[in-house]
Amino acid sequence: MSVSPYLTHLECTACHARLDVERARGLCPTCGRPLAARYDLAAVRRAVDRRDLAGRVPSMWRYREVLPLAPEAEPVSLGEGFTPLLPLPALARAHGLGAVWVKDESGNPTGSFKARGLSAAVTMARAFGATALALPSAGNAGGALAAYAAAAGLAAHVFVPEDCPRAFVVEATALGASVTLVPGVITDAGRRLREVAAADWVDLSTLKEPYRVEGKKTMGYELAEQLGWSLPDVILYPTGGGTGLVGMDKAFGELEELGWIPPGRRPRMVSVQVEGCAPIVRAFLAGAAEATPWEDPRTLAAGLRVPAAVGDRWMLEILRASSGTAIAVPEEEMLAGTLALSRALGVLVAPEGGAVLAAFERLVASGFVRPGERVVLFNTGSGLKYLEAVEAALAASGARAAG
């Protein structure tokens, strides 16, 4: 038995249909919306105390009882997660805030937080007997799938936009994946995948299977643990497909049920996008329950070049329920933010992290972030995978790239 005894069932996030873990694959067979993993948290609560975690493996697998794999089975792990929460005291002081931290995901295997989701999804796909895995990617997910599939000894098929940053294509190919370049954006890559997929390929597209979210939710567990079992007032998250946002919200609900954090003290969740591709921001501001696809998405932040997200409804509900917001920043501010955040931290951040810093500055100026509050900014990846964008940022700032 490869499934955790605490994992009781899968539940549709829209129609709440209850499905069998061993049998259900993909989306809800009734309404086509994403499925979520549900655990017997009362049993977990009896079995583990949050203090038990201290001596455990410094990866996301330290939260073993709330992950889907059976305790005696080995996950496909490359040491993902348990990333640092880096304080920016000068920035906090400048704005009169209680604290500003950056949850820095750039040190993950393959240089982004996609490692978390793919560690969990590849682990479960292998546990259910898969031999070949596939997904469309705007960039980082392809590298992460290639890495975890290589570690698991499984075949990987990655479909990416033909103009995605070069490092993603080189990395996935070097790790042994078959990489297909597709004209257009990630949704076009997904369409091509479905056209050519062989019967034995398991589709690990964002939110089209439930376990990538289980990996991503560990960011929420880590934040709570690293902040001494408290949560910040505000979290800014660069949103493409939205798995991190829904994953953290899921974690906060589970943490409350486990009694590991006090109830009713959830952070205000902020979805950050760029003006060249902001479907969630547009829907949020319009008061809509669902997002309509963005026409002609353009941005160098590859992870945000996602014109349509399967989890749009789920994300919009979370933003509203948490009294959060959604904000799009201009491309120039995202590029300037990339350099500013890199220099403030001493970490070459991904442009998605740059967008978050730019959004933070705007939300402080608008009064959404209030004096004394504690804020977490997400840097979701490494700038080393985005040399084109970093060079564009340097050119725009008037500096010259060396060489």
Please report whether residue 381 would count as binding ligand PLP according to CB under 6 A: yes
Contact call for residue 114 and ligand PLP (CB under 6 A) = yes
Name the residue nearer to ligand PLP (CB basis): 28 or 310.
310
The answer to whether 310 touches 34, Cβ cutoff 8 Å, is yes
Distance of CA 90 to the CA centre of its chain: 27
**Which distant-in-sequence residues (6+ apart) come within 8 Å of 309 by Cβ?**
206, 207, 239, 240, 241, 242, 279, 280, 291, 315
Note whether 241 binds ligand PLP by CB under 6 A.
yes
Q: Is 231 exposed, middle or buried (0-12, 13-18, 19+ CB in 10 A)?
A: buried
Q: According to CB under 6 A, which one of 206, 218, 325, 338 is a site residue for ligand PLP?
A: 206
Confirm or reject binding of residue 242 to ligand PLP (CB under 6 A).
yes
Nearer to ligand PLP, 19 or 102 (CB): 102
Structure tokens at 31: 């309404």
Among 11, 209, 254, 352, interactor with ligand PLP by CB under 6 A: 352
CA atoms of 378 and 238, how far apart (whole Å): 7
Under the binding rule (CB under 6 A), the answer on residue 338 touching ligand PLP is no
Least distance between ligand PLP and beta carbon 219 (Å): 10
Contact call for residue 140 and ligand PLP (CB under 6 A): yes
Asked if 334 interacts with ligand PLP (CB under 6 A), we say no
Give CA 36 to chain center in angstroms. Answer: 15
**Cβ proximity to ligand PLP, 59 vs 243, nearer residue:** 243
Q: Is 243 in the site for ligand PLP (CB under 6 A)?
A: yes
Using rule CB under 6 A, residue 250 touches ligand PLP: no
Rounded to 5 degrees, what are φ and ψ at 12? -70, 130
Q: Closest distance between ligand PLP and the C-beta of residue 129, in Å?
A: 27
Q: Does 161 bind ligand PLP (CB under 6 A)?
A: no
Residues in the chain: 403
306 Cβ neighbours under 8 A, 6+ residues apart? 138, 185, 186, 187, 240, 241, 277, 279, 297
* Residues found near ligand PLP in the complex (CB under 6 A): 112, 114, 140, 206, 238-244, 303, 350, 352, 380-381
